Amino acid sequence: MTAAGPGPVIPNFGQGSACVTGNHFFCWGWVRQHWGDTLEPHLVQHVELTVIAVAIGFAIAFALALVSHRLRVLDQPIAITAGLIYTIPSVVAFEILIAYFGLSNTTVVIPLVGYSLVILYPNIVSGLRSAPPEVLEAARGMGLEPRQMLWRVEVPLALPSIIGGLRIAVVSTVAIATVASLVGDRGLGYPIFYALQLPTPFKTEIYSAGVLVVGLALGFDLVLVAARRILVRWAQ
Amino acid sequence: MSGAAQLVFDRVTKRYAGRDTAALLDLSLEIPAGTFCVLVGPSGGGKTTALKLVNRLLPFDEGDISIDGRSITQLPVVELRRGIGYVIQQVGLFPHMTVGENVETVPKLLGWDRARRRARTAELLELVGLEQEDAKRYPAQLSGGQRQRVGLARALAADPPLLLMDEPFGALDPITRHRLQLELRRLHHEVAKTVIFVTHDIDEAILMGDRIAILREGGVLAQYDTPDAILAHPADDFVERFIGEDRALRRLALRRLDEVPLDPAPPATDSLLRVSTRNTARNAVSLMLEAGADRVLVVDDGGRVLGILTLARTEELLEQ
Amino acid sequence: MISLLYDTANAHTFVDGFRFIADNPGFLAHKAMQQLELAGAALGLGAAAALPIGILLGHLHRGSTVAISASIIGRALPIVLLIAIFLTVFGIGFVNNMVALAVLATGPMLTNAYGAVEGVDRDVTDAARGMGMSGLQILTRVELPLALPLLFTGIRIAAVTVVATSPIAAIAGGGGLGAVIVNQASYRLEGVLGACYCVMALSAGVWLVLLALQRVVTPRVVHT
């Protein structure tokens, strides 16, 4: 924890409200007062981190899946590499990357991208393989070119798997991104870390940040469920 | 496109690596434009293989196949396939598209505009016996029979001159199958395209085909002729066994009583068994046997007497 | 505590990590032991909670939503948050970290225990019931032996998850290798890397040991 970091207001024992000084279970007053300078900015950072990491992870995973869909031999090596990445604990990943990229956004984003990628890749691959053989035969017989078959048949049929993978990836990323606060003041992990370091850990800050994190994960999940309902009309 | 195309197999051979018997051996077949030709035979006879050679889903080793005189190898594969309708047993409808979108697939590939596609889809749905509202439904919501109708509509969408059908009714229950067989026959009378229809069921072949090509194991053509000719003069033992011992009765089943020469009715008709013209000669014989009679009185729908049919006359029918 | 300082790294540094291990075997072993203590206690606590519930639900063929959601929720709860919450409840020390990691461990164990017992071939359990076995007998003599592989797999997954995640407990005073990893100021990059290697080796080791144990314990016919 940086001594000189910009941060939330330190509960001033002596001048804060009774709730705060007494460190009661939950102080609504504090939440209202510090929404704008503490909770909301970190929430926004967390959302940004998650969206960027999953977006990049998805782009890479999709590209890799298309490649291994065409060249089946590559599937095993890619899958094994992915498995290996997943075994690296997030703490370890962040700490190692600090040495190379410092306390920057790059250090944070790279492991998050890695974990998203690892979750998304197998889901996309299995989705692409899920097209029934007779559908592919009919498509070929009708005169669809391989590229048309991919984009008009195989990819749309892969959507349920892809969205399933996205749900898992997003929820995991929201959780892992809390650890990213090891690397500095970004994300909802930071208020939690900060409150932990105080002589008396400040409950309200921990709980309010916690509620936001869990709520965020839930929120993303609901959005993706809604997306599935819209995009996958044919398999309700 | 549109209209019908002539299809010619010219000494086509296909072998599979590592197997002694060929899939198809020296197959020569000329299918005139507008014919409903059935490929029938036991499994291993190469009938599905022959079908898949036409739209080049499988390659052949020797010989040539031509459509309206042009070899199929001269055209780019994708263009060839877009000009041929293809229907398979499991249908293969795209689950993620509505019925309408499925049907419009090839027209869309060919660049038809939306209005034209929509009109064509409406036309086809009516042709295959579906409701207009079905266009918005998804395959998962349809029954097996309905799905096969959509498959047929999809194959006909771009009005191809040639239609390939690979045991399309094989996965349906007998009642639906029979209904679709009759409808397909009716459809063929209306829209006379060249159809190659593969089945292992000789009854289906006799019911549907203008011409039947019987392929025996090893991909050899055993006989190629009209149903009646095959039933009357089977080419060899294999064909005889394949079509069954009751071929005389089957031949009679092909003759409706309003097409058969009748003898004049005697003045006293009360004791005679009455049979409608909608029946076949086979049914008449069956009724005669049941009643122990040697003749029946043939009447039309209005009750008007057309004549009598004797057992002797039916024997004469078989001699033709 | 987390430090602002960092070394500029190069390929050499990765090797240095191994040298750190070679230079400080006793120290790292001691830290590793602390780590395993924490992880082991958390796993034990989680198992005590998750396994009975999972097995019972699976036996009764009820509560599938609960069992499946357990994994999903487990993935969604950040360990940082759990540690912080339990710290406010239990105060700083061993207990809060143990409980937080235990929560993390319950997910895979509950889901797998449920799936393993529930998924035992119905024909087999029906035959057992037909022979006159009581519910408890069916559970202990038929379902559990057949469910062992999948059940044990859940324990393995939970174990590795806990071991790999436990370094983070360093933020709340949990010692172990985590204390080295988050303290780049004192131990420099070599130390951090060395500790990281140790964590990953520990995870792999735990996986293999439990896999061997699984092989030993599983009845021969059921080997997957």
* pLDDT tens per residue, range A178-200: 988 878 888 888 888 888 877 77
A178–C81 C-beta distance less than 8 A: yes
* Chain A / chain B CB contacts < 8 angstroms: 72
Locate all alpha helices (DSSP H) within chain C, ordered by sequence: 11-23, 25-60, 64-76, 79-90, 94-118, 122-130, 135-137, 144-165, 177-181, 184-217
Mutation site for A-interface testing, chosen from C80, C90, C166 by largest number of A Cβ within 10 Å: C80
Confidence band of C5 (pLDDT split at 50, 70, 90): very low
Nearest CB among C1, C75, C92 relative to A171 is that of C75
A139–B81 C-beta distance less than 8 A: no
Chain A contact partners (≥3 CB pairs within 8 A): B, C
pLDDT computed for residue C192 by the predictor:
84
Q: Which domains does chain C have, with CATH numbers?
A: 25-218 (1.10.3720.10)
Burial A13-46 (b: 16+ CB within 10 A, else e): eeebeebbeebeeebeebbeebeeebbebbbebb
Which is nearest to B103 in space by CA: B51, B79, B138?
B138
Q: Is pLDDT at A30 greater than 80 in this prediction?
A: no
Nearest CB among B77, B86, B138 relative to A138 is that of B86
Confidence band of C10 (pLDDT split at 50, 70, 90): low
pLDDT computed for residue C179 by the predictor:
86
How close, in Å, is residue B106 to chain A by CA atoms? 7
Comparing C4 with A45, which gets the higher pLDDT?
Answer: A45
pLDDT tens per residue across all 320 residues of chain B: 568 999 999 999 999 888 888 889 899 999 999 999 999 998 877 899 999 999 999 999 999 999 999 999 999 999 999 999 999 999 999 999 999 999 999 999 999 999 999 999 999 999 999 999 999 999 999 999 999 999 999 999 999 999 999 999 998 999 999 999 999 999 999 888 999 999 999 999 999 999 999 998 888 999 999 999 999 899 999 999 999 888 888 888 888 888 888 888 888 878 888 888 888 899 999 999 999 988 899 988 888 888 888 888 888 888 87
Confidence band of C4 (pLDDT split at 50, 70, 90): very low
| Closest-approach residue (CA) in chain C for A90 | C165
How close, in Å, is residue A96 to chain B by CA atoms? 45
pLDDT computed for residue A180 by the predictor:
87
Tokens of A11: 């509960």
Chain C contact partners (≥3 CB pairs within 8 A): A
What is the model's pTM? 0.81
The residue-averaged pLDDT of C65-88 equals 87
Q: Could you give the CA distance from residue C118 to residue C146 in angstroms, rounded to a whole number?
A: 11
Residue B308, classed as helix, strand or coil, is: strand
Name every chain B residue with its beta carbon within 8 A of the beta carbon of A141: 55, 57, 81, 86, 88, 164
Confidence band of C54 (pLDDT split at 50, 70, 90): very high
DSSP state of B128: T
The residue-averaged pLDDT of A128-137 equals 93
Mutation site for A-interface testing, chosen from B58, B94, B162 by largest number of A Cβ within 10 Å: B94
C76–A171 C-beta distance less than 8 A: yes
Name every chain A residue with its beta carbon within 8 A of the beta carbon of C39: none
Touch test A–C: 3 Cβ pairs or more under 8 Å? yes
Q: Is pLDDT at C52 greater than 90 in this prediction?
A: yes
| Closest-approach residue (CA) in chain B for A148 | B109
The residue-averaged pLDDT of C52-58 equals 93
Q: How far is CA B11 from CA B23, B24, B30, C124, in A?
A: 13, 9, 11, 59
pLDDT computed for residue C41 by the predictor:
94
Mutation site for C-interface testing, chosen from A92, A101, A185, A212 by largest number of C Cβ within 10 Å: A92
Chain B contact partners (≥3 CB pairs within 8 A): A
| Closest-approach residue (CA) in chain C for A183 | C2
Nearest CB among B82, B86, B95 relative to A157 is that of B95
The amino acid at residue C123 is: D
pLDDT computed for residue C1 by the predictor:
36
Judged on CB neighbours under 10 Å (0-12, 13-18, 19+), A230 is exposed
Q: Could you give the CA distance from residue C23 to residue B266 in angstroms, rounded to a whole number?
A: 123
pLDDT computed for residue A48 by the predictor:
93
Angle CA C5–C8–C12, to nearest 5: 130
Name every chain B residue with its beta carbon within 8 A of the beta carbon of A160: none
B82–A141 C-beta distance less than 8 A: no
A142–B105 C-beta distance less than 8 A: yes
Which is nearest to C124 in space by CA: C142, C110, C136, C107?
C142
pLDDT computed for residue C100 by the predictor:
92
Mutation site for B-interface testing, chosen from A130, A135, A161, A230 by largest number of B Cβ within 10 Å: A135
The owner of tokens 């036996």 is C59
Locate all alpha helices (DSSP H) within chain B, ordered by sequence: 47-54, 77-82, 99-103, 105-110, 114-127, 144-156, 174-190, 202-208, 227-232, 237-243, 247-253, 281-291, 311-319
DSSP state of A12: -
Comparing A13 with B269, which gets the higher pLDDT?
Answer: B269
Q: Is pLDDT at C68 greater than 90 in this prediction?
A: no
Comparing C5 with A108, which gets the higher pLDDT?
Answer: A108
Q: Which domains does chain A have, with CATH numbers?
A: 41-235 (1.10.3720.10)
Mutation site for A-interface testing, chosen from B90, B96, B103, B156 by largest number of A Cβ within 10 Å: B96
pLDDT computed for residue A64 by the predictor:
95
How close, in Å, is residue C64 to chain A by CA atoms? 19
B92–A234 C-beta distance less than 8 A: no
Element (H, E) at B298: strand B295-299
The residue-averaged pLDDT of A73-102 equals 85
Name every chain A residue with its beta carbon within 8 A of the beta carbon of B80: 143
Q: Is pLDDT at A2 greater than 70 in this prediction?
A: no
A134–B88 C-beta distance less than 8 A: yes
Q: pLDDT (tens digit, 9 = 90+) per residue, B81-119?
A: 999 999 999 999 999 999 999 999 999 999 999 999 999
Confidence band of C193 (pLDDT split at 50, 70, 90): confident
Half-sphere exposure in the Cβ direction for B243 (13 Å, CA): 28
pLDDT computed for residue C9 by the predictor:
55
pLDDT computed for residue A16 by the predictor:
59
B96–A156 C-beta distance less than 8 A: yes
pLDDT computed for residue B260 by the predictor:
87
Q: Is pLDDT at A153 greater than 90 in this prediction?
A: yes
The residue-averaged pLDDT of A105-119 equals 91
| Helix pair angle (B281-291, B311-319), 10° resolution | 140
Confidence band of C220 (pLDDT split at 50, 70, 90): low
Comparing A133 with C170, which gets the higher pLDDT?
Answer: A133
Q: A163 near A227, Cβ under 8 Å? A: yes
